[in-house]
Structure 1
Amino acid sequence: MIVSERETEKGLLVTICDDDVLGETFDSGEISLTVTEEFYGGSTVDEESAADSLARASIANIVGEAAVALAVEEGFIDEANVLEVGRTRHAQLLWM
């Protein structure tokens, strides 16, 4: 998985994506999602490190089968809130 962390005025923004979706565009009806290097690029990490990043996140964008599955398994995302976008899955996290 590829993880990026950025401090914003709203808190820590974490992006996580599967290695194989970086640079891809996914479409599903009215939804189009492009997984750009600029936004999702970062360091390749293991699942434990990705989960640690999500635990510290104020905001997270998660793309890919494995990345979304990890977020659901670790309790950060409810399965009912996961979007199917083309051939991949996408979820967002926002702690208020």
Structure 2
Amino acid sequence: MRIKIHESYRKVVALCDSDLVGKKFEEGKMQLDVRENFYGGEEVGEVESVEMLKSLALDDAIFNIVGACAVEAAMKAGIINEDSMGKIQGVPFALVLL
């Protein structure tokens, strides 16, 4: 997985499966563009990403999560559940505002 933290008035966290970076998915009127400049951060494993997500959730961060592994890590971190994710072309994603 890759994680990138954008500093703004709140931290904006982009977490995605590594193999999805640079790809674009469309379904009907919905579009998911996994751009390198937004999602292309440091490579992290599942355990590290779960711990980072838990810590960032305490800071009231905003989360953009794309891909099966990334969504699974977010569920393990307790910031989303199955009902809070969507899919575009079979790719799971979630947007979280805490």
Do the two structures share a fold, i.e. TM-score over 0.5?
yes
Provide the residue aligned with 1:90 in structure 2: 93
Q: What's the TM-score once normalised by structure 1's chain length? A: 0.90
Which residue, out of 56, 68, 71, partners 2:71?
68
Letter in 2 for 1:35: V
Whole-Å separation in 2 of the counterparts to 1:60 and 1:51 = 13
Provide the residue aligned with 2:39 in structure 1: 40
Q: What's the TM-score once normalised by structure 2's chain length? A: 0.88
The number of residues matched between the two structures is: 94
Whole-Å separation in 2 of the counterparts to 1:18 and 1:75 = 18
Range with greater deviation from structure 2 (39-48 or 69-78): 69-78
Gaps of 5+ in 1: none
Q: CA RMSD in A?
A: 1.2
Provide the residue aligned with 2:7 in structure 1: 7
Q: Which has the higher strand share?
A: 1
Whole-Å separation in 2 of the counterparts to 1:30 and 1:54 = 30
8 Å CA contact 1:5–1:13 kept in 2: the answer is yes
Identity in percent: 35
Whole-Å separation in 2 of the counterparts to 1:35 and 1:50 = 18
For the pair 1:79 / 2:78, whether they are aligned, the reply is no
8 Å CA contact 1:23–1:37 kept in 2: the answer is yes
For the pair 1:59 / 2:62, whether they are aligned, the reply is yes
